[in-house]
Each structure stands twice: as structure tokens, then as C-alpha cells.
A = this chain, B = another copy of it.
Amino acid sequence: MIQRYSRPEMTAIWSDENKYKIWLQIEILAARAQAELGVIPQSAVAALQAMGNLSVSRIEEIERETRHDVLAFLTHVAETVGEEARFLHQGMTSSDVLDTCLAVQLTQAADILLRDLEGLLVVLKRRALEHKETICIGRTHGVHGEPTSFGLKLLGHCAAFQRGRDRLIQARAEIATCKLSGAVGTYATIDPRVEAYVAKQLNLMPETVSTQVIPRDRHAAFFATLGIIAGSIENLATEIRHLQRTEVREVQEPFAQGQKGSSAMPHKRNPILSENLTGLARVVRAAVMPSLENIALWHERDISHSSVERMISPDATVTLDFALSRLSNLMDGLVIDPERMKANLENQGGLHFSQAVLLALTQAGLSREEAYKIVQKNAMQVWDEGGSLQERLSADDRVRQALPGEKLAELFDSGRYLRHVDAIFENTIDT
């Protein structure tokens, strides 16, 4: 996470202010439940609730001595609240606060990411619908295949981000657990009803079985989900990068007033946003492996996961938030050039009709092998020497015999390729 690739709202989730605020909230909620159960006096709750603002700098000062962040926080609360503070944190262990807080932060982050995804989906759907009928060449292996529509291309990315959103909803639910089960997860020193109360107030679920910590497979599932979304970002970014090549130029990233493409070559308009997204995807993905390595903790926990999460939690969420937002803006302002798409499509002598001819020939009675050879031979000549496939084929006796009169010409109609596009759109766009 660096400022250049950050947005303030997501960054704020990972601030010390937010963290200590959540810690205090957890402690107050736990105290309330404890008071309700008669474990601590109501006066302690009142004292806690009446306390003023936390001082991040004071907590840091104490931590430099104790070398333990939760104890530093508790000491600071104690010196603010006074005598009643001794009822605070009753029967709890540091991880009760830390892990529940992380769950709150990750769900907060997930909510922003889900909003980002929804925003991206709105843009993608709009652009997809806009270009539902915009014919362009579909490319496999970077080589012209058959026609498709630019809207359908975008619709595929839409569907991928819908899946990403659905997986994130799932991963958010997985990570949204609360743990106040004490030192090794037995509730020996704290009634399970405290956890249940705090969980409910924070919109979390109580953890099924905790040790000292919430099990880390939940976090791994969360970061893996971010990594997959990053993969889908890279996929769309790669498409844009390809389509903006000099030789292709079917789309162009929005180019701001005053922006400069190259310090050396003033004519250049480079797809730098998409390239940047490709890099950001690598960074988000890099969080997956350490999160998987975090799962195997020793016995009822070791603290190896902690430093990892202090870094990858902000890194992955902030970077992904930035990337999703950048992608939205990019797709929103993407300059799409239907005429260029048409020109590129028509540039190859009608080679993309080859399969249609192949099918018609087999339907007309030729063996698949024979039909394939005829079409390939003619197609290869067009590929190597130029010219029109239709003309070459109509000069081929075997073709003329199999597809006499108008039959061959009818095949050479690009519009036919889009006839199911409407149906695909209907099946895909959720409402």
C-alpha cells in the first residue's frame, strides 16, 4: 500500500484511530454483557462509556515500554477511566480484541470493495449494452477468429465481476466472526454469552471453535478471493492493452487534458492505466501465498500471522479498492471506435467466414476431412497472399458444386454471428 495507489476511505480503515476505536467498542460491548451477567458492576460500564477520546500517541508511548499493544491500550484506558477500569477486559485475552477487530476491519473493507464492484458493474453493463451490436472480430491466440460484438466482450467481463462480487459476499460472511473465548478458546474465564452479545452488536457471527485466535483458513479464503478478483481485473486490462495497440486501435484509454504520454515521444498515447492495473493485480495476488502460509499455526496459536496481516490486510484491500476504482473510471471513459473495429474485421479477406463454409460443405455432403482441407487451402492462400476468401472459394470447383448459386454468398454475412447476442445478455445481466 502506497499513497499513489490509495484512496482515503479504505486507507482510514487501517488507521490507528479506527483500530483503537474498534477496540474500545469491543471492550465496552463486552463490559455491558459482563455487567448484564453480574460479573462486573454497571458503574464500570458507565465509566467506560463516559470516557473521552483515546490518544494514539499516548498508547504508542506506553507500548514502547510494554512492547504489547493491547496492554498499552488497556493501560491508557485505565489511566483515563480511573479505578473502574479494572473491570475492563475481564476474562479476555488480547486476541479477543485483536481478532474481532480485524474481522470488523475486513468486513468494512469488504463493504467498500463490494461497492466498488457494484460501481464497476454499472459501468460495464452500460458500456456492454451500448455496444451490444457493435461488431468486431473475436480473436483467439491473438489471431482473427470469428466476429463477435464488443458489447459481448464486455458482458463476459461483467459476468466475471459478478462472480467476483458473489465470491466476495461469501468471503465477507466467512470473515465476519467474533471471538471472545479467552486464552485458549475454552471460555474458561468468560461466559460464551458475552461473545454472543458482542457478535450480535457488531453484526458478526460467534466463531464456531476458536483457539486463542480465529482460525486463519477464513482469512486465507478472503485474500484468495481478492486475488481472483485481481485476476479478472488483469484480464480486462489485458484486453484494453491489446485493443489499444498501434496496429489495432479499436479502443483508447481516456487521455486527460494536459497528460503527457512520453518524455521522449510526444505522439504517444499509451494504455498506461491498464498496464498499471496489470501490475496492481500482481500485488494483490501476492497476498494470497502468505495468507495460505498463515493457516498452520502452532497449537492454540503462534503470532507469526500477525506481522503478515498487518501488512497484507491494508496492502491487498487498499490496492484492490484503488484498482477497481481506476478500472471503473477507465471503462467509463474508454473511447471505443466501432469503425476501426469494422475495418479490422473486414481487413482479412473474409477469412473469418471459413468455418461457416466448412459447415455448409459438410452439410452438403462432403466429409469433414475433405471440407476442412478445401477450406484450409483457400484460407491459407488468402492469409499468405491476400485477396478475398469468397472469390477464391467460388473459383474452386468442388465448392461450386457443393454450394451452387447464392448458397456460398449467403454465408458471407457478418450479421449472422450476432444473432444470439440478445439472448446471452438476457441470461447474464442480473437485475
Closest 4 CB pairs of A and B: A267-B379, A138-B184, A231-B295, A141-B270
Interface presence of A159 (CB below 8 A): yes
- Residue of B67, B152, B275 touching A141 (CB-CB under 8 A): B275
Contact in complex: B294, A307 (CB < 8 Å): no
Distance between A304 CB and nearest chain B CB, rounded to angstroms: 4
Given contacts A140-B212, A145-B268, A268-B145, contact A227 B292 (CB under 8 A): yes
Interface presence of A247 (CB below 8 A): yes
Given contacts A247-B248, A308-B283, contact A215 B379 (CB under 8 A): no
Interface-side segment among A100-108, A112-120, A218-226, A395-403: A218-226
Tell me, in angstroms, the Cα distance from A220 to B311 when the chains sit together: 21
Interface presence of A423 (CB below 8 A): yes
Within 8 A of B (CB), among A171-218: 174, 182-189, 192, 208-212, 215-218
By beta carbon, the residue of chain B nearest A258 is B65
Residues in B neighbouring A142, C-beta threshold 8 A: 241-242, 244-246, 270-271, 298-299, 302
Contact in complex: A186, B421 (CB < 8 Å): yes
Contact in complex: A423, B272 (CB < 8 Å): no
Mask, A70-112, CB within 8 Å of B = 1, is 1100110010000101111111111000000000000000000
Q: For the complex, count residues of A whose C-beta is within 8 A of B.
A: 175
Chain A binding surface SS class: helix
Tell me, in angstroms, the Cα distance from A292 to B354 when the chains sit together: 34
Interface presence of A260 (CB below 8 A): yes
Contact in complex: B220, A265 (CB < 8 Å): no
Query: Could you give 18 example pairs across A and B, Cβ below 8 Å?
Result: A5-B311, A68-B259, A78-B368, A86-B367, A93-B262, A138-B185, A141-B275, A143-B270, A146-B183, A183-B265, A186-B421, A189-B355, A217-B235, A227-B292, A231-B293, A238-B298, A267-B380, A276-B307
Contact in complex: B258, A66 (CB < 8 Å): yes
Contact in complex: B228, A159 (CB < 8 Å): no
Contact in complex: B93, A263 (CB < 8 Å): yes
Contact in complex: A279, B306 (CB < 8 Å): yes
Contact in complex: A163, B174 (CB < 8 Å): yes
Tell me, in angstroms, the Cα distance from A304 to B421 when the chains sit together: 27
- Residue of B235, B248, B260, B307 touching A279 (CB-CB under 8 A): B307
Contact in complex: A285, B276 (CB < 8 Å): no
Residues in B neighbouring A218, C-beta threshold 8 A: 163
Contact in complex: A245, B143 (CB < 8 Å): yes
Contact in complex: A141, B272 (CB < 8 Å): yes
Mask, A26-70, CB within 8 Å of B = 1, is 000000000000000000000000000000000000000111101
Residues in B neighbouring A67, C-beta threshold 8 A: 256, 258-260
Tell me, in angstroms, the Cα distance from A266 to B211 when the chains sit together: 18
Residues in B neighbouring A158, C-beta threshold 8 A: 209
Interface presence of A19 (CB below 8 A): no
By beta carbon, the residue of chain B nearest A348 is B246
Contact in complex: B310, A4 (CB < 8 Å): yes
Contact in complex: B266, A358 (CB < 8 Å): yes
Tell me, in angstroms, the Cα distance from A185 to B157 when the chains sit together: 13
Contact in complex: B293, A308 (CB < 8 Å): no
- Residue of B212, B354, B376 touching A145 (CB-CB under 8 A): B212
- Residue of B156, B224, B237, B296 touching A288 (CB-CB under 8 A): B224
Interface presence of A328 (CB below 8 A): no
